[in-house]
Amino acid sequence: MVATVEGLDAITLGSLAERTGVSKSGILTVFGSREALQVAAVAQARHIYVEAVVRPAWGREPGSDRLSGLVEAWREYVRAEVFPGGCFVAATTAEYGRRSGPVADAVRGLKREWLDLLEAELAAAGSQQPVDDAFRLDAYLDAGNTRHQLWGSSSDLTEVDRACRLALAVIPADV
């Protein structure tokens, strides 16, 4: 998805028409507006993220085991270059952090869902400060994604591996 490389703002009716061969009016008929198209892109990215990161870990025991599974699945999601610009959540959170409107709300909602999941699993693992620990875990993954995009290549995942190692260290042993 172009949003991780060029930003959600690069998703326009014209750019989608060009990439798909469908007319702008045909795309407008389906989505109604550029904003609706961008919200739909966030929804699709959420679906992909759930399938690539959350679902693989969901069969694990709640708490530390599931958190480890989430971190491992996130590593594989970035490794597999599911999105060409790395983690969609990390990329769009930075882009839309200070904006308002439906697209920003969708991006914030996606990030909040991820943080809520981390907080719940950290609480199940016995964390005394699940909100703080979720902040740390998420910050490591975001930083690893950002550094990989700045300095890495598809064959060099040092920054992603470092981020995952540090994130795993945040996870308490189940109580």
- How many CB atoms sit inside 10 A of residue 81's CB? 11
Confirm if 81 and 154 have CB atoms less than 8 A apart.
yes
The stretch 49-65 carries a mean pLDDT of 97
Q: Indicate the pLDDT class of residue 137, thresholds 50, 70 and 90.
A: very high
> Is the pLDDT higher at 85 or at 7?
85
pLDDT in tens, 97-106: 888 999 999 9
Q: Is residue 39 part of a domain?
A: no
The Cα–Cα gap between 149 and 33 comes to: 31
Q: Is residue 15 part of a domain?
A: no
* Residue 16: pLDDT over 80: no
Burial class (CB in 10 A: 0-12, 13-18, 19+), 112: exposed
CATH, residue 153: 1.10.357.10
Q: Indicate the pLDDT class of residue 142, thresholds 50, 70 and 90.
A: very high
Q: How many domains does the chain have?
A: 1
Confirm if 143 and 158 have CB atoms less than 8 A apart.
no
Q: Is residue 8 part of a domain?
A: no
Q: Is residue 59 part of a domain?
A: yes
The helix-helix angle for 64-79 and 102-124 (nearest 10°) equals: 140
Domain extent at residue 164: 44-170
Q: Is residue 101 part of a domain?
A: yes
> Is the pLDDT higher at 162 or at 7?
162
